[in-house]
Structure 1
Amino acid sequence: MTVAAQPAFAQAAGELGNLEAEEPAGVIVVTGSRIARPDLDTAAPVAVVGEEEFQLSGSVNVESVINTLPQVVPGLTGFSNNPGNGAATLNLRGLGETRTMVLVNSRRWMFYDTNQIVDLNTIPQFLIDSVDVVTGGASAVYGSDAIAGVVNFKLRDDLDGLLIGGQTNITEEGDGFRYNLDMAIGSDLADGRGHVTVWASYARRKPIFQSAREFSRFAAVDGCIVPGSVDGTGTGIEVDCDEGVPGPVRGGSSGVPTTYVDALGAQFADTGGTLVPFSPYNYAPANYLQLPQERYMVGGYADYEINDNVTAYAEVSYVNNVVPQELAATPAFITSELDVDSPFFAPGVQNQLAALDTDGDGYVTSLVRRRLLETGSRNSNDERNAFRVLAGVKGDIVPGWGYDAYYMYSRTRNSQIQTGNISVSRFLQALRTEFDANGNLVCSDQSNGCTPLNIFGLGTISPEAADFIRIRAQNTEISSLQVASAAINGELFDLPGGPLGVAFGAEYRKVSSQYIPDTALASGDVAGFNAGLPTQGSYDVKELFGEIYLPIITDGFVDRFEITAAGRYSDYSLDAIGGTWTYAIGATLSPIRDITIRGQYQRAVRAPNVEELFGGNSQGFPPASDPCSSRNVDNRTDAVRDLCIATGVPANAVFTDAIQLNSQIEGLFGGNPDLEEEVSDSWTAGVVLQPSFIPRLAITIDYFDIKVENLITTLGGGLNNSLSLCYYTVQDINSEYCQAINRFGSGAIDNVEILNANIAELETSGVDLQIDYSTPVGFSLYGEAESQLSFFFLGTWTDKNNFTPVADLPDQVNICAGYYGATCGTFQPEYKFTTRITWQDGPQRLSFRGRYIGSGDDDQIVNQGVDPANLAVAGLSERFYLDMTLAFEVQEDRVVTFGVNNLLNTKPPLTGDSQQQANTFPNVYDVLGRDFFVSFRAEF
């Protein structure tokens, strides 16, 4: 929502001076258009975040500020350990990272993976002048990927001299130490005909493990508890549900350090020969809560006026970013052949196995669950090297007509080195043993130096056996983007309201990505991190685009009335897409200067990315509930029972705990080269109020409605949805949803095969409210004439975020606005706002920021009809965070800033099975607690 006054934002670097907003001089180009125009009020809503917000928030990384915006549902962050990949991503309106376009200086930025998503870690935060957030689709102006909108990071181009800065952060607990050092040098060239800026930045972030916070040191799962037994971790003592009440309990994984075996229905553990009660393994302490990071960034940009009509410009940047992930030791869930008379077994276990050896071959096939602590924790070290180069020319053709043409190339290489994995084939080889001629226990297959593996008992795996089964794996991803673009803009003739503006041009883009797993990962011979098949592909697109700006009336019987329109034709090299049209039309009406009414319609498209098109089959373990297990609380009908039996569940095991011990189910995911483009229709309508009788006040209210059709998603909209469609909706064993489910002989799900398809719909709507106000205050502590007070508020009410996994079944809609869980994923509250109030007095600035996240409910309630009383945690309560910052200008352009984020030490709300990780949603809520920072910034 762009307004002419933005007193909270738009300050120059290091300046603690005038907070009054200035009217723009001359013509400008607003994000969302290529046409220069004399005003900031556009038909499309634009929210603007200035550099001051980054400085006052104590944020080193870009996503820390952007994720507080109510239009944004946080993507991956520095707290995303599992799932996570070392990146920081942006998700506008909850429509997904792939549907959000990220620009830097109004041009496409480099992406990092086969999904063509931008890593915000590659943007130099300390040079950001402002960030424009345009929601409601922008494909007609910028091309594919802008279905949800555009986020444009504008870097400073006015630096003249040396800029240095740095910051350090530490939590109240004394951990999570972070620091960064930044430097930039800017200078005019050739008597002002050119300008150059070069910059460098270094950032380091120390890890915090989940064991360091009381709320996350135990893995919480749904269960039943003794009333009053809840401890500081938010979990209680587990009891039978006939004796207790639903609640989160201390849980974990069925992959235990002592082994748990299911051999043809007989369960036993350890070497005692008797059934040992199952006690889940607490994997939480070994997981990162805050991921460590080390990042180097260097770059520069320059322009030079060759003559009056030609200015050459260039940009270059390079980023090296290293972010490890750390998980608990590998849990092996492997069907194995156990040697009946192995001396690793106690006599009681040998007797049990012998009774199960019905064919007398000396081996019994068993499902083994063993946490391999002896092989060490799992670590995935993600190192990302990315560079981007751009060169172009711009200038005037004739007075009133200008041009801009450039070529951009970017390339990112991700290297992921995994340790702590084990080889499945070697695990099986080492587990199948026999006695040699000398009576020694050896591997039946002694190749590769096989050492017999004793998995029964705590710490029983020898170092030699651990070395034999341990395997190191490596992934590599290489992604590149090329853009060649040329545009002309100018004025055709005068209308009653001013010159008619036009812009038109052409663009060529080529995207290319590949994922290169090593042999072990590609073959699936890995337990630990997920295996995957190679992916490689590319495509290109040729485009023609145009815009028109019609100022119909200015200072007439209404103050202003204007119409804007844009269109783009895209010709893709993909046969399933071919040629597509996108277009937009909008209008702005100001009956009087104080009031502006605006609206816009946009048709936008998104072409499938390389991963969606050409991705090889890969494994994933999303949270899901098997309808045939005891997790099905409210839908135990005869139809469901019969279908469970038909899909491979033994009749006596239906609706029992044995069918699903873990809260995750393995899925097989993969690409589809016949995918078509996604199509969206976006409507926005709003009003801008700038009352002349209240100077420096601006209020904007905007309604948005975005519907995406032909949406690309996995079969059924995801693993959990596919299970629901099979057992609850379609209820046909021959349906594609039921046929995708593969089960073990015990009835437990082995995996679910779900590939990409254009089958879904996604719709969101709501209202944004922004308020800006500043006012002089008639006193000063420093002898000034007066000080000033400024206020900013930006809030969103999300009325609807509905996901229809199968458009042909429109009644099966997943409602996600205000909900979270296995179906909706990351929590998107109905109400979210950020606000800041700042008092500036002479050299000091005291500022308070408030961040509000509304309450929400588990999506099982609305999407599956589950009774809230049967859920361990039925909902998450609201949270309000208060941050305080004091900035002091010790000398001109020398600013020291002190701050405390989460001043009230507000704790995150906790849940059980429906969590993202760490018993909560760490990308949504503050998990650090009270956090202190100090920074300095100086220009010379």
Structure 2
Amino acid sequence: MNRFSKGNLLAGTIMAGAMVATPAYAQDQEEPVTVGTDGSADAGGENLITVTGSRIQRRNVETAAPVAVVDSEEFALSGTVNVENVINTLPQVVPGTTSFSNNPGNGTASLNLRGLGATRTMLLVNGRRWMFYDTNQITDLNTIPQFLLESVDVVTGGASAVYGSDALAGVVNFRLREVDGVEIGGQYGLTERGDGRRYQIHGAIGSSFDDGRGNVTVFGEYFNRDEIFQGDRTFSNFALGGSPLQQLGSSLPPETRLRYDGDGDVTGTSFEANSDLAIFGTPGSLRAYETPRDLYNYAPVNYLQLPQERYLLGGNASYEVSDALEFYTEVAYTNNRVDAELAPTPILVNTFLDIDSLVANGFIDAGTEAELRQLDASETGADANNGTVDVQIRRRLEEAGGRRNLDERNAFRIVTGARGDITDYLQYDAYYMYSRTRNANIQQGNASVSRFTAAVNGTGDTQINIFGAGTLTPDMVDVFRIQAQNGDISTLEVASGVLSGTFGDFALGEAEPVAFAFGTEYRAVSSRFIPDEFLASGDVAGFNAGEPTEGAYDVTEFFGEVNIPFETESGIRFELNGAARYSDYSLDTVGGVWTYAGGAQFQPIPDITLRGQYQRAVRAPNVGELFQGTAIGFPGANDPCAGDGGAGNAPTPTGALLALCQANGVPAGNIGNNAVVQPDGQIAALFGGNPNLGEETSDSYTFGVVLQPSFIPGLTITADYFDIVVKDAITTISLEQALDLCYNQAQDLNDPRCATFVGTRDAQGAFSRDNPPVLGGANIAEFSTSGIDLQVNYGTSVPFSLTGDGDSRFDVLFLGTWTESNDTRPDVSDPTIVDQCAGRFGLTCDDPQASFKWTSRFSWTDGPMTLSTRWRHLSAVNDDTDADDNFVERIDAYDLIDLTLSFDASENLTVSAGVNNLFDTLPSTPIFDANGQVINETNTLLLGDFNNAEQSNTYPSTYDVLGRDFFVSAQFRF
């Protein structure tokens, strides 16, 4: 029976709440443990273990590659239900998409090892591939049942030779356990502010039968999480930006902002004061547009934490017919619903206003009518005195409600296989896996651009009143409001067979026999993105439009591994291992490729082990990178032509930059006028796939030492240096990088680096939303990262007990990473441009990549009681530009303390309670002066780059935004 015993769990190398890098040594047990290829453990038998990163079964758990292990108790002691919340605390991980990713966000949780990207991290469950959710072939961590986790193994460096494509940064293997008996549990959590409620209930039942030849486990879970709005926290209640830091927002306000685009005389009109800009300060009445007074604060109505509802069902079973044949199967199904909530739709159209119809409908007052007629009368050419004026309209459609984006994913996976012994020295394992994910994305609050435009200028059946805040009636809203939807369908098929074993009893010296594994694998992937007519055509404002995507490919692979240990009678041990894989892709741009690896270990004395490994890995482009239809996005960027006072507070262009801005279509009089050239921090851009992409390759090296001094029982120290370089990396360079390459580096419109910006500006010099820049993927980048992983863990008995059960136990765990470098060369054809992101954050480097990151846990176990505290640390990070132009230049070092108390109330019941972020460490609350400027900017702890202000004025996936957070849980087993 699986009985919860903290004493045993904390006694070994894998301690409660610990994240432990192997060389893992088996925890204290009366009998040896056999871990099979499915990760299950059985008492008795030969101590054969399959370690993540290899397909060879072995007697020891030491490998040449460093492996970090997250024990299942970390999830219990940290009070988390979603896998992402624990995995993202690992020093090797830079948070990807999380439950705090609202814009952009897609309701999933991804894993990003070493900051090299989620597409370069392979996720396995029980040593086999899991299901992915979209055209980028990324696994959603929300689909993995946390309550069944036995451990999570993290392998650094490329592992394509063992597992195939995608494993450039490393491999994360989630081991699920079998259940013997009945388990029922639940958890409830709430922040100190009384919001963010979440609860989970789960159950599992499992049993062995037929004298242990068979085993069946069935499980289910329900999880529910409430939303938190940015307006519920003072640090995120205002959209901040500018330099000096101040309350800013969007130039698309509910009152409607007009830009006059004709050639009439604006003298004496509301358009005169501020670059031909005016706003309806009161319904029907124009006045001059003022910045920042008239900017719209969109922050409060955006989600800070996304709501989620999840159902998980599944099971696994195995039956041993004989030593030569055991059948096994795994089944999993998940239904996951996650909402995103954004401010009401901002809409921008270039059209004309019919003055007579506006007057006839009573939409404008006499003063505004007089101004518009003056403009019409002073125009020249065909537009003179025609009763219309050309304008650009910017409006926030508050009357249409907020933009809600509901993602509902239904995913299932089934594995069926057979394994067994062919001889005493040879085993086999063959399986087939099929998984399918279907996502239904329903969007509310969108608007049809064509219907809106026709309803404004009077060419449609109904004219609408947008000339002031709150002027749109429900019937008017119905004219242009649409519900848009799209879907994703992704499938993965794998057929694999492996033979593994030894060359009889052949061994070198006193070591175990020489071992090997070889096999073949076939994989087929396909994915589709299916937008409706509005999203596909681009006739939509609100959420981003995108064209359909569909693609598929397959690959056939052959692979092999060998492990050659040598040990002398005196105990000196040396071990070599190697692996190779040949992959034949159906993609003409990839074809046949080789991956390989080699490593060595040397143990001169039992106290010291030296290890090292080299791996060549490959990643084929995914369906999205190859076949994605063109889609529009709105990335944050600084237009160099906006000049002083612009989004980046850059100097007014001069010299070659001035000439380039003029050549690119910015009128000379507008250069440097940010209100016209770049009124918003976000710029429209188009993104799409490239069917000519080839494979990425990576070379990774790891060198390390393991110390277990015999004179300090219970102490283990591991230190490993890693160096990973990804070449021919597929990248769509950021808009900020593209602007830098053209305007600051090339400074010539005829240079290929400027081609994407030709013909993309409107008459006033701003980047057009009708014909935005196009950014596509290419094998042009190089990513590299290096550093040192350090782990120290120590456990000892203490001659003291409060419960009267004799000695208690004290355990300490430290797991940290020093990131020496994390560099990106966005285009290797220009070696002078290197984005160095270790210890930095910002528009180029994105989320903070702290140079030092660690997590540590201190646990005291006294009989049935465990008291544990966790310390999480991130070192300070600096803005990724050298100039003082990005508002917040430094985010200070960051520490969180968590506390948990767990108690075995009986042999069957365990109760836990805890608090995360004990000292309520949050981004600092801005203090504003009378003009809306932040007067505590020098103390703005944690506030991030404010061109990313839609993400709550910080980096919510990296820094805690909930504050002090409480949880209680109970686990019942019988």
| 1:195 alignment partner AA | N
- How many Å apart are 1:8 and its aligned residue? 4.2
Which among 348, 351, 368 is matched to residue 370 of structure 2? 351
Q: Is 1:919 matched up with 2:953?
A: yes
Q: Is 1:695 matched up with 2:713?
A: yes
- How do residues 679-690 of structure 1 correspond to structure 2 at under 5 angstroms? 679-690=697-708
3-state SS of 2:858 partner = strand
- How do residues 432-451 of structure 1 correspond to structure 2 at under 5 angstroms? 432-433=457-458, 444-446=459-461, 451=462
Look up the match of 2:735: 719
Contact 2:642-2:652 at 8 Å conserved across structures: no
- How do residues 331-730 of structure 1 correspond to structure 2 at under 5 angstroms? 331-341=346-356, 342-343=358-359, 344-357=363-376, 358=379, 359-360=383-384, 361-433=386-458, 444-446=459-461, 451-492=462-503, 493-496=506-509, 497-556=511-570, 559-630=572-643, 631=648, 633=650, 636-657=653-674, 658-714=676-732, 717-730=733-746
3-state SS of 1:55 partner = helix
**How far apart are the structure 2 equivalents of 1:615 and 1:603?**
28
3-state SS of 1:379 partner = strand
**Unaligned runs of at least 5 residues, structure 1:** 12-17, 225-247, 434-443
Which among 850, 859, 864 is matched to residue 880 of structure 2? 859
- How do residues 181-192 of structure 1 correspond to structure 2 at under 5 angstroms? 181-192=201-212
**How far apart are the structure 2 equivalents of 1:127 and 1:504?**
30
Q: Deviations along 1:464-510, whole A, 9 cap, x unmatched?
A: 11111101000100000000000000101322233111100000000
- How many Å apart are 1:251 and its aligned residue? 1.2
Contact 1:632-1:655 at 8 Å conserved across structures: no
3-state SS of 2:367 partner = helix
Contact 1:210-1:286 at 8 Å conserved across structures: yes
Look up the match of 1:238: none
| 1:647 alignment partner AA | N
Contact 1:222-1:912 at 8 Å conserved across structures: no
Contact 1:20-1:696 at 8 Å conserved across structures: no
**How far apart are the structure 1 equivalents of 2:750 and 2:706?**
55
- How many Å apart are 1:455 and its aligned residue? 1.0
| 1:656 alignment partner AA | N
Shifted more, 890-899 versus 495-504: the winner is 495-504
**How far apart are the structure 1 equivalents of 2:339 and 2:138?**
19
- How many Å apart are 1:548 and its aligned residue? 0.5
Q: Is 1:6 matched up with 2:33?
A: no
Look up the match of 2:269: none
Q: Deviations along 1:616-664, whole A, 9 cap, x unmatched?
A: 0001111111111133525844111111111111111112212111111
**Unaligned runs of at least 5 residues, structure 2:** 1-10, 20-25, 35-46, 262-274, 924-941
- How many Å apart are 1:736 and its aligned residue? 3.1
Distance verdict in 2 for CA 1:849–1:536, change over 3 Å: same
3-state SS of 2:669 partner = helix
**How far apart are the structure 2 equivalents of 1:9 and 1:396?**
37
- How many Å apart are 1:209 and its aligned residue? 0.7
Contact 1:220-1:911 at 8 Å conserved across structures: no
TM-score (normalised: structure 1):
0.92
Distance verdict in 2 for CA 1:637–1:561, change over 3 Å: farther
**How far apart are the structure 2 equivalents of 1:156 and 1:273?**
68
Distance verdict in 2 for CA 1:699–1:893, change over 3 Å: farther
Q: Deviations along 1:79-105, whole A, 9 cap, x unmatched?
A: 111110000100000000000000000
Distance verdict in 2 for CA 1:732–1:10, change over 3 Å: closer
3-state SS of 2:470 partner = coil
Q: Is 1:211 matched up with 2:198?
A: no
Look up the match of 1:244: none
| 2:617 alignment partner AA | A
3-state SS of 1:563 partner = strand
**How far apart are the structure 2 equivalents of 1:525 and 1:591?**
70
**How far apart are the structure 2 equivalents of 1:172 and 1:108?**
39
Which among 153, 174, 196 is matched to residue 132 of structure 1? 153
Q: Deviations along 1:352-377, whole A, 9 cap, x unmatched?
A: 33344331333222211101101110
3-state SS of 2:833 partner = coil
Contact 1:8-1:772 at 8 Å conserved across structures: no
| 1:207 alignment partner AA | E
- How do residues 50-199 of structure 1 correspond to structure 2 at under 5 angstroms? 50-157=71-178, 159-199=179-219
**How far apart are the structure 1 equivalents of 2:569 and 2:692?**
54
| 1:809 alignment partner AA | D
Contact 1:331-1:527 at 8 Å conserved across structures: yes
Look up the match of 1:299: 314
3-state SS of 1:60 partner = coil
**How far apart are the structure 2 equivalents of 1:807 and 1:19?**
48
**How far apart are the structure 2 equivalents of 1:856 and 1:553?**
47
Contact 1:330-1:527 at 8 Å conserved across structures: yes
**How far apart are the structure 1 equivalents of 2:793 and 2:304?**
36
**How far apart are the structure 2 equivalents of 1:99 and 1:483?**
19
| 1:682 alignment partner AA | S
3-state SS of 1:198 partner = strand
| 1:560 alignment partner AA | R
**How far apart are the structure 2 equivalents of 1:20 and 1:176?**
40
Contact 1:475-1:517 at 8 Å conserved across structures: yes
Shifted more, 633-642 versus 183-192: the winner is 633-642
- How many Å apart are 1:782 and its aligned residue? 1.1
**How far apart are the structure 2 equivalents of 1:666 and 1:223?**
23
- How many Å apart are 1:6 and its aligned residue? 2.9
- How do residues 720-759 of structure 1 correspond to structure 2 at under 5 angstroms? 720-741=736-757, 742-750=760-768, 751-759=772-780
- How many Å apart are 1:4 and its aligned residue? 8.1
RMSD: 1.6
| 2:420 alignment partner AA | G
Contact 1:671-1:755 at 8 Å conserved across structures: yes
Contact 1:415-1:477 at 8 Å conserved across structures: yes
**How far apart are the structure 2 equivalents of 1:637 and 1:789?**
66
**How far apart are the structure 1 equivalents of 2:29 and 2:957?**
34
3-state SS of 2:252 partner = coil
- How many Å apart are 1:875 and its aligned residue? 1.1
Distance verdict in 2 for CA 1:683–1:21, change over 3 Å: farther
Distance verdict in 2 for CA 1:19–1:586, change over 3 Å: closer
**How far apart are the structure 2 equivalents of 1:33 and 1:362?**
77
- How many Å apart are 1:296 and its aligned residue? 0.3
3-state SS of 1:653 partner = coil
Distance verdict in 2 for CA 1:56–1:370, change over 3 Å: same
3-state SS of 1:354 partner = helix
Q: Deviations along 1:655-682, whole A, 9 cap, x unmatched?
A: 2212111111111000011100001110
Look up the match of 1:220: 240
3-state SS of 2:182 partner = strand
**How far apart are the structure 2 equivalents of 1:829 and 1:45?**
21
Q: Deviations along 1:738-786, whole A, 9 cap, x unmatched?
A: 2212111110112221011111111111110011110000010111110
**How far apart are the structure 2 equivalents of 1:893 and 1:8?**
18
| 2:969 alignment partner AA | S
Q: Is 1:311 matched up with 2:326?
A: yes
Report the count of equivalent residues: 885
Contact 1:20-1:774 at 8 Å conserved across structures: no
Contact 1:24-1:39 at 8 Å conserved across structures: no
Which among 269, 272, 279 is matched to residue 269 of structure 1? 279
